[in-house]
Chain A
Amino acid sequence: MARNRSVSAVLGGSVARPRPQPFPSRSRSALKRRAVVGVLVLLSLVLITASFRESSDGFLHRVGGGGATVLRPFEVGAERVARPFRDAYGYLAGLVHAKAENKRLRSELDQARQEANQGRIKAQQNDQLRAALVFIDSPAFPRDFRPVNTRVLGAPQSPFEQRVIIAAGSDAGIRIDAPVITEEGLVGRVTGLTGSEAEVTLLTDEESAVPALDLDSSTNARGLVRRGQGKGSLILDRVAKDAAVSEGDKIVTAGSRSKQFPSLFPRGIAIGSVTSVGRTDTSLFTHVQIEPFVDFSSLDSVIVLVSKRRPPVAP
């Protein structure tokens, strides 16, 4: 026999289901409910007003203080129970905070380093430009030329290629073969040109040859400054065998006395100093080694000499 498990079958028709019990306050009248709330709100307002207006040693403040005194032991107990959890939370929060702070400080440090580097670079550039200005204003600066100060954009790409790119071109009045110098001495000449950039072939390039003279020589020894054997070294080639050249002599550009075909390089630009002098019986010329004044490996800024005269025209 199948068992009937339905609710009506179990309870039967005669079992009366209890009616849901209403909320206690619901059974009271709305008037009573509102009256109670009204009294409590009014009491609160009275308390606020009285507490706000009375002095700090008034009755309500004393009552409040008494209540706080009663609550105090419980608060202390709860605080002691919660202290380990609070400490653990504080430790974890501190770790998270420290991690975030570490990240922020690292970022700030990187930024400060970059700014410091930029500042040092700018200070260095400032020093170089000041030195260049001093040189331009000095009597050593060649007349009939105006200076174009510019930065070096690209260093020589390989030992075989002694050329650099500078950040000024024909727009600044620079022409092909214009001499390039620093306040220390001759650098090279312009061999390529665009509107905003120029290529400078250094004195240490295989193709460079600059007429030069020994400023300290009694015989006014002359020759051609060319690339030497060592890295960055120069030689004074084609110096007469009887020329009086000695170590420490200062070598400068010779220039040209011909007004029709002046030299590319004005007279008197420093090139370097003599480091060794050699003569052999079989050689036709004196071998003169020169240490250049300019450090070609660390060129940052240069001065291009732009002639104030019209460029010479080849016949």
Chain B
Amino acid sequence: MTVDAALDAAKAAGILFLAVVLQISIFSGIDIFGGRPDLLLVTLVVVALLRGTIFGAAAGFGAGLLYDMGTFGTLGFIALLYTLAGYWIGRYGETTGRDRSHAPLLSVAVVTVLFSFGALMLHFMLGENAPAREVLVESLVPTVLLNLLIAVPVYAAVRRILRPPGWADRAREVRLLG
């Protein structure tokens, strides 16, 4: 692992750690029209989009595990869902979604819906309380809208810290022009 890669991983870890803390302490308490913004999921989606499959999956696993610990939940529960989300969005970012301006918003919307379904199904399989009506009918649409709302500033902020690959090269090209 190069120094740049290690620095990159440290930055992503810091961003996700901050997202976990903010999600647990602030965002989980916000309830607007039945929806709750998921800052951690949005941040994970952005990181995975910018850094790809393996990075996304690893980031999802780590952030999910931290979230499970912070909320005294079943260890591995959110980690599993975030791993799959990070992997899938990373793959999308590497292929079809690369350099497309709508990719972050589309990813956030789709992942929010799939995450809700996945969490509901996993809760159901574990024999826990799984209020399908509340999750899918009452809170899904406002949650998606809230996540889309926070996706724009989160994407802008994370993109400044974790620059997409190739930016440094493009900068050198511009210096040649000057």
- A interface list, Cβ under 8 A from B: 7, 10-11, 15, 17-18, 20-26, 28, 32-33, 36-37, 40-41, 43-48, 50-52, 60, 63-68, 70-71, 74-76, 78-79, 82, 86, 89
C-alpha spacing A5/B79, complex, angstroms: 53
- Asked if B7 is at the interface of the complex by the 8 Å CB criterion, the answer is no
Given contacts A47-B75, A64-B68, A86-B26, contact A41 B80 (CB under 8 A): yes
Cross-interface CB contact of B94 among A15, A25, A63, cutoff 8 Å: A25
Instruction: Check B75 against A63 for contact (C-beta < 8 Å).
Output: yes
A/B interface sample: 9 pairs, CB < 8 A: A17-B173, A21-B169, A23-B165, A25-B54, A25-B94, A43-B61, A43-B76, A48-B75, A86-B29
Residue numbers in A under 8 Å from B80 (CB-CB): 41, 44-45, 48
Instruction: Check B176 against A40 for contact (C-beta < 8 Å).
Output: no
5 A-B pairs closest in CB distance: A67-B69, A47-B76, A44-B80, A25-B52, A48-B76
Rounded to whole Å, the gap between the CB of B149 and the closest CB of chain A is 15
Instruction: Check B76 against A25 for contact (C-beta < 8 Å).
Output: no
C-alpha spacing A79/B29, complex, angstroms: 10
- Asked if B57 is at the interface of the complex by the 8 Å CB criterion, the answer is yes
C-alpha spacing A41/B84, complex, angstroms: 8
Interface size class of B (residues with CB under 8 A): 35 or more
Instruction: Check A79 against B53 for contact (C-beta < 8 Å).
Output: no
Residue numbers in A under 8 Å from B5 (CB-CB): 24
C-alpha spacing A37/B177, complex, angstroms: 42
Q: Which partner residue on chain B sits nearest A20 by CB separation?
A: B166
Other than the given A32-B54, A89-B30, 8 more pairs (CB < 8 A) read A18-B173, A23-B93, A40-B58, A40-B61, A51-B76, A52-B126, A71-B66, A74-B21
Cross-interface CB contact of B57 among A20, A40, A63, cutoff 8 Å: A40
Instruction: Check B77 against A48 for contact (C-beta < 8 Å).
Output: yes
C-alpha spacing A45/B80, complex, angstroms: 7
Q: Residue-by-residue, is B52-82 near A (CB-CB < 8 Å gives 1, otherwise 0)?
A: 1111011011001110111111111101100
Given contacts A40-B57, A52-B74, contact A47 B79 (CB under 8 A): yes
Q: Which partner residue on chain B sits nearest A65 by CB separation?
A: B72
C-alpha spacing A121/B166, complex, angstroms: 84
Residue numbers in B under 8 Å from A46 (CB-CB): 76
C-alpha spacing A82/B25, complex, angstroms: 9
Residue numbers in A under 8 Å from B64 (CB-CB): 44
Instruction: Check B57 against A44 for contact (C-beta < 8 Å).
Output: no
- Asked if B90 is at the interface of the complex by the 8 Å CB criterion, the answer is yes
Residue numbers in A under 8 Å from B93 (CB-CB): 23
Residue numbers in B under 8 Å from A26 (CB-CB): 52-53, 94
Instruction: Check A75 against B24 for contact (C-beta < 8 Å).
Output: yes
Given contacts A20-B166, A75-B24, contact A41 B75 (CB under 8 A): no
Instruction: Check B70 against A67 for contact (C-beta < 8 Å).
Output: yes
- Asked if B45 is at the interface of the complex by the 8 Å CB criterion, the answer is no
Instruction: Check A68 against B75 for contact (C-beta < 8 Å).
Output: no
Which residues of B in the span 70-114 have a Cβ within 8 Å of any Cβ on A? 70-77, 79-80, 83-84, 87, 90, 93-94
- Asked if B36 is at the interface of the complex by the 8 Å CB criterion, the answer is no
C-alpha spacing A45/B83, complex, angstroms: 11
Residue numbers in A under 8 Å from B21 (CB-CB): 71, 74-75, 78
Which residues of B in the span 8-57 have a Cβ within 8 Å of any Cβ on A? 17, 20-22, 24-26, 29-30, 51-55, 57
C-alpha spacing A21/B98, complex, angstroms: 13
Residue numbers in A under 8 Å from B24 (CB-CB): 71, 75
C-alpha spacing A50/B80, complex, angstroms: 14
C-alpha spacing A33/B172, complex, angstroms: 31
Instruction: Check B76 against A44 for contact (C-beta < 8 Å).
Output: yes
Rounded to whole Å, the gap between the CB of A6 and the closest CB of chain B is 11
Max chain A Cβ within 10 angstroms of own Cβ: one of B51, B54, B65, B172: B54
Instruction: Check A44 against B61 for contact (C-beta < 8 Å).
Output: yes
Residue numbers in B under 8 Å from A43 (CB-CB): 61, 76, 79
